[in-house]
Amino acid sequence: MLGACFSGLPSLLQVVLLSWCMCAAYPVSPTPDLDVTPRITVLKSSLQDCRRFQSYAVNYSSVLLKADSERLFVGARGAVFSLNASDISASPALTIEWEASPEQKQQCQSKGKDNKTECFNHIRFLQRFNSTHLYICGTHAFRPLCAYIDEERFAMSSQIEEGRDKCPYGPRTGYTGLIIDQQLYTASQYEFGSNSDIRRNSPSPTLKTEDAPTRWLNEADFVGSGLVRESKSSSTGDDDKIYFFFNEKNQDAMASYSHSRVAGVARVCKSDRGGHLTLHKRWTSFLKARLMCSLPEFDFHFNMLRHVFILPGNKPQDTLFYGIFGLEWKNVKASAVCRFSLSEVQEAFQGPYMENQDSGSKWNAYTGNIPDPRPGTCITDELRARGINSSTSLPDDVLDFVRRHPLMSQQVQPSDRRPLLFMMTTDYTHMAIHTVRGLDRKTYHVLFMGTDEGWLHKAVEVNGHLHIIEELQLFEEGQPVSSLIISDKQMSVYVGSSSGMVQLPLSSCHRYTSCFNCLLARDPYCAWNGTQCVAIKANTDRSALIQDIQHGNRGCVNMLNDIVERSRSVRVGDDVLLQCELSSNLARPLWTLDGDELQGYGLNSGFRTGTDGLLIIGARQDQCGQYICYAYENSVKFAIVVYNVSVHLDLNPSPPVKQTDCAYTPAIMIPAPNEPPSSGESLPPPPAPLLPHSELLFPRNMEAMYLSLITILSGMCVVLTVVLIYVGFCLQVGSRGKYSLRAAAAVYPNNKGRNRNRKQQCNSSHMELKTVSSHCNGNGTCNGISAPHNADTQDGGFLQIVPGERHTPRNKEPPPLAPPIPPTLQPSSPNCEFPNGLSATLPTVLKRMNGNSYVLLRQSDADGMSPHCYSFAEELNKMLEKRKVTQLLPWTDESSV
C-alpha cells in the first residue's frame, strides 16, 4: 500500500515520505531490526586503548599491512609511512617523502587546478608487488607517477614510472586497483573527460574496456575490486575472476527505477588475452550487472555504492560481497549495508543479456539467439577440448556479441532481498569485516564501519541483522574516515582520516562492568567470567564464561552484591534528583519504591523520570523509602543503583533533626529474571519501535486500521506540502530547497535514539532534568542543578533544583543550540589526546545538535517561510514533541506536561 503510494514519485520525495511514514507509524508497529541505534556511545574524550599517529602530512587514505602484520604502511598526501603495527604511535615511524616539485605544482595551478587540494601528490595506490617490493602511485599534482618501494629498507626505487594509465589525476576521482601475480589491474576515469575504463596495464597485452559501438561503462565511478580464485576446486576448469564495483549513469529503460546513477558489479577473467581481430586488446570476458539494495516494503532504493568489502569464505564459492550503499543527494544522509553472495552475482552473469538496439539510451532484455560458446565466459576445460585455448581463439560472432551486450538483464539482489542494516542520519564511508568464533562455536561477522564524521561503528551480524555494539568517536567532526584495515594478528583495527591514523583493539571488554552489560553488548570477543568482562581469546577456560550473541539476554543472574547503595536526606518540599545513568542507549530506566514499581510518573504523583534519573518534585514525607533504579533492555531488567531516601521537616539542613518514620531494609530483593521472555510480560514493552512494518500494511485491528488511515491521509497532506516546497525549491533555489531536504533528514535523530542526544543536551539550559548527563556527575553545577561535589560518595548530601530554571515549559519553545561544554567538564584522557590537546567534545555537541530537528526547523522559521511551509514545520515539530514525550516519559500524563 505504502510502497504503491511511493512508486512513480521522484526519489527525493520518497525520502521525505519515508521519513514521514516512519514517524507517523512509529507507535503502531515496532520493527527493531531497521534503523538501528548503536548501543553504546563513546566520545573521543573518553576513548581509551587507542593509539594515534599524526605527522605533517594529511589525507591518510591508503593502507596496507606487511605480510607478517608487523608493520602498517600508510599512504598520505606527499608521504608514505611505515608504522609499527603493534603500536602505531611507537617511534620510529619510517617515512618516504614524495611530494610534487614546486614547478610541477605551478604547472598544476596554471591548468586551473586547486592548489589547496589537487596540486599535491596524493598516494592513491599502495599494494604489494612481489615478496620484496611494494608498488605505489600518486597523483603528483595532476601528473600521476608510480614507483616501487623496497619493503625491508623502506626506500623508494630510483626508477619512477609513468602513471597516466594506472592512476587518476585527482584525489577524489573514483578509483580502484589491485595487483595479481604482478599484473596491475586498475579502474578509473583516468584523465578528466576521458571514458571510465577497467585496465590491465602490465604486462602486455594491455587490455581495456570498449567504448564503441557500445560503451561498456558509462561515467563509472569505481569503488572497489577484488579477486576471487574461482579456478581453485573448480570442476569445469574455470578461471579466476576479478570483480569491480562502481556506480554509473543509469541506462535502464525500466521506469520503476528513477535514479540517475546506479550501482553495478563487473567482472573479467584473469586469463583473458583479448580477441584476435574483434576485441583486439579489449576484454573478451567483460560482463556487468546491477547491484540492488532497497527496502522492499517502501520500494526505496539506495542507489549509490560507497564501499565494498570482499569477505573470502572457506571455499571461493562462499565469497561474500558486503556493500555500503547511500543516496545520491549530498544533504540527505542515509546508509544501508547489503550483502551479496558470489552465487547471486554468478547467477546474474549466467542469465539473460540486455541489448541497446539503436545505440540510443534505452536498454531492453535481449531475447534473440545467443552464440556458442556463451559470450563473456572464461576459457574452461570444455572450450579447451574444443581447441579454444585462449580468448584469442574465440569465434568472431561470440566476440561481436560480447562487444554489444555488456549488461546483464538480471539484477543482483542482496541476501534476504533486504539490507542487513539501514541507518538514517549516518553516511558510512568505509568498512572492514572480521570473522570471529563465539562461545557457541558459531562464526560471527563483525563489521567495522567508518562514518563521514569521523566515527567508527562496530556491529555484529546475527541472523541477517546487524546489532551495533558501539559507536566510537575517533576524529573531530568533518573528518570522514578515509581508510580502514583490520589485523587479525594484532587484533587491531586501523582507521585513517585526513588528520591521522588511529589504532584500536578489536574489543574493549573492560568497558562492560557488569554481567548484564557484558551480555547485552553481544560483543563476540567478550564474555563474562564471573567477576569481569574479558576477552575470550586470552582465556583458556571457556567453560565458566557467559556469552549470548544470539539473543543477548541469557546467562546472567542475581547481581545483588555489586549494586551501589546511596542515601539521600532531603527537606520536605525540595526537588531531588536521584541519578541513574544508563550506559546503554537501548536501555530504559524503571524505578521501584519499597519494591513497588512507580506508576504514573505525572506531576501529581510527585515524580518525573528521565534517562538520567528520577526527579522527586516537592518531596513529601510519604515519598521516603528505598528507591531502586533498574535498567530494562532486551527483555531483561537489572538493578543499577539503590537510594535510601529520608525526608525531614526541618529547615536547618544539617544535621537532620526530625526524621520521619522511614524504615528501610538494607537488603535488596531483586527478582531474578530467570525466564526473560515471560518476565517481560509484566514489564512494559521494550523500546526501539522504529519502522512501520507489514502490520501497518495489514492492520490486525481497528485501531491499527484507523492509525494507518490517518497516516495515509497525513501522508497525502505531506505529499502536497512537499510538492509545493519541492516546486518552490526548483524555482527559487537556495536555502528554501535545502530546508525541505534537511528537514527530512532531521526527522530521525529524535525518532530513534531517545538517549543518544542526552549527553549533548546536558549543555542546554532550556532542557529539563532528564537531560542531566554523565558529564555533570560529580562536577558541580550544571544546567541549574546544583549538586555537591562527588555526590556519589557523599551520603546524605543535598541535591537541589535552583528555582526558576526547572519550569521551562517543554512544548512552547524548542531548545536553542547548546552552548559549548565548559572545558573543566571534559574528562581528560591523555592517552588518546592529540599532542596539541585538541578535544572533539565541542564539535560533537554541534554535530548532534545539527542533527536535531528542533534546531533545523527553528532555523527555517526564521527564514520567513510561506505559511504553507511554516505549517509543515509546525506539524513536524508537534509530532516530534509528542513522540519525544512518549519516548522519554512513557508514563507521563500528557496533560501534565
Ligand X SMILES: *[C@@H]1O[C@H](CO)[C@@H](O)[C@H](O)[C@H]1NC(C)=O
Which residues of this protein are in contact with ligand X, per CB under 6 A?
A: 58-59, 84, 86-87, 90, 115-117, 129-133, 148, 171-172, 387, 389, 482, 498-499
Residue 425: DSSP 8-state: S
Q: Min. distance of Cβ 438 from ligand X in angstroms? A: 29
In the complex with ligand X, the residue whose CB is nearer, 479 or 783, is 479
Q: At what angle do helices 853-862 and 867-888 cross, to 10 degrees?
A: 160
Please provide residue 82's backbone torsions phi and psi, each rounded to the nearest 5 degrees.
-120, 115
Strands of the sheet containing 607-609, edge to edge, are 576-579, 613-616, 607-609
- Is 179 or 338 the residue whose CB approaches ligand X more closely? 179
172 versus 489: smaller Cβ distance to ligand X: 172
Cβ closest to ligand X, residue 168 vs residue 226: 168
d(CA 507, CA 523): 8
- Residue 493 CB, shortest distance to ligand X, in Å, is 17
Query: Min. distance of Cβ 454 from ligand X in angstroms?
Result: 11
Nearer to ligand X, 40 or 83 (CB): 83
Using an 8 Å Cβ cutoff, are 431 and 324 in contact? yes
At residue 123's C-alpha, the angle toward residues 122 and 124, to 5°, is: 100
Contact, 689 vs 751, CB < 8 A? no
In the complex, least distance from residue 115 CB atom to ligand X, rounded to whole angstroms: 4
CB 109, min distance to ligand X, A: 6
Alpha-helical runs (H) found in 464-541: 515-521
Residue 433 · residue 445 · CB < 8 Å = yes
Please, which residue, 202 or 659, has the CB nearer to ligand X? Answer: 202
For residues 496 and 524, which CB has a smaller minimum distance to ligand X in the complex? 496
Query: Which residues is 282 bridged to in the sheet?
Result: 208
d(CA 137, CA 613): 56
Q: Is 813 exposed, middle or buried (0-12, 13-18, 19+ CB in 10 A)?
A: exposed
Distance CA 82, CA 155 (A): 10
* Complex with ligand X: residue 78 or 323, whichever CB lies closer: 78
Measured from the CB atom, is 499 or 626 closer to ligand X?
A: 499
Check whether the bond before 144 is cis (ω within 30° of 0).
no
Q: Which of 293, 251, 260 is nearest to 406 (CA)?
A: 251
Pairing of strands 636-648, 564-571: parallel
**Beta carbon nearer to ligand X, 161 or 792:** 161
Shortest reach from residue 222's CB to ligand X, in Å:
15
* 732: exposed, middle or buried (Cβ count in 10 Å: 0-12, 13-18, 19+): exposed
Q: Which residues pair with 447 in a beta bridge?
A: 433, 459
Find all residues with CB under 8 Å of 588, minimum gap 6, and list them.
582, 631, 632, 633, 684, 686, 687, 890
Q: How far is the CB of 273 from ligand X (least distance, A)?
A: 12
Q: Which three cell numbers stand for residue 465?
A: 541483522
What does 146-190 look like in DSSP terms, one character per residue?
EEEEETTTTEEEEEEEE-TTTS-SSSSS-EEEEEETTEEEEEE--
Q: How far is the CB of 686 from ligand X (least distance, A)?
A: 41
Helix (H/G/I), strand (E/B), else coil: 717: helix
Distance CA 97, CA 887 (A): 54
Closest separation between CB of residue 186 and ligand X, Å?
17
The 10 Å CB-count burial string (b at 16+, else e) for 612-639 is bbbbbbebeeebbbbbbbbbbbbbbbbb
By beta-carbon proximity to ligand X, the closer residue of 130 and 350 is 130
Q: If you write DSSP's letter for every residue of 527-545 in order, what string do you get?
A: EE-SSSEEESTT-S--TT-
- Of the pair 450, 692, the CB lying nearest ligand X is at 450
Query: Nearer to ligand X by C-beta: 133 or 806?
Result: 133
> Phi/psi class of residue 744: alpha, beta or left (left: φ > 0; alpha: ψ in -120 to 50)?
alpha
At closest approach, how far in Å is the CB of 350 from ligand X?
25
**Closest CB to ligand X among 59 and 225?**
59
Supply the minimum distance, in Å, between the C-beta of residue 497 and ligand X: 8
Closest contact distance (angstroms) between CB of 331 and ligand X is: 17
Q: What are phi and psi of 838, to 5 degrees?
A: -60, 140
Output the smallest distance, CB 851 to ligand X, in A.
Answer: 21
In the complex, the smallest distance separating the C-beta of residue 503 from ligand X, rounded to whole angstroms, is 11
Closest to ligand X by CB, 57 or 624: 57
* Nearest distance, CB of residue 89 and ligand X, angstroms: 9
870 vs 873: CA distance, rounded Å: 5
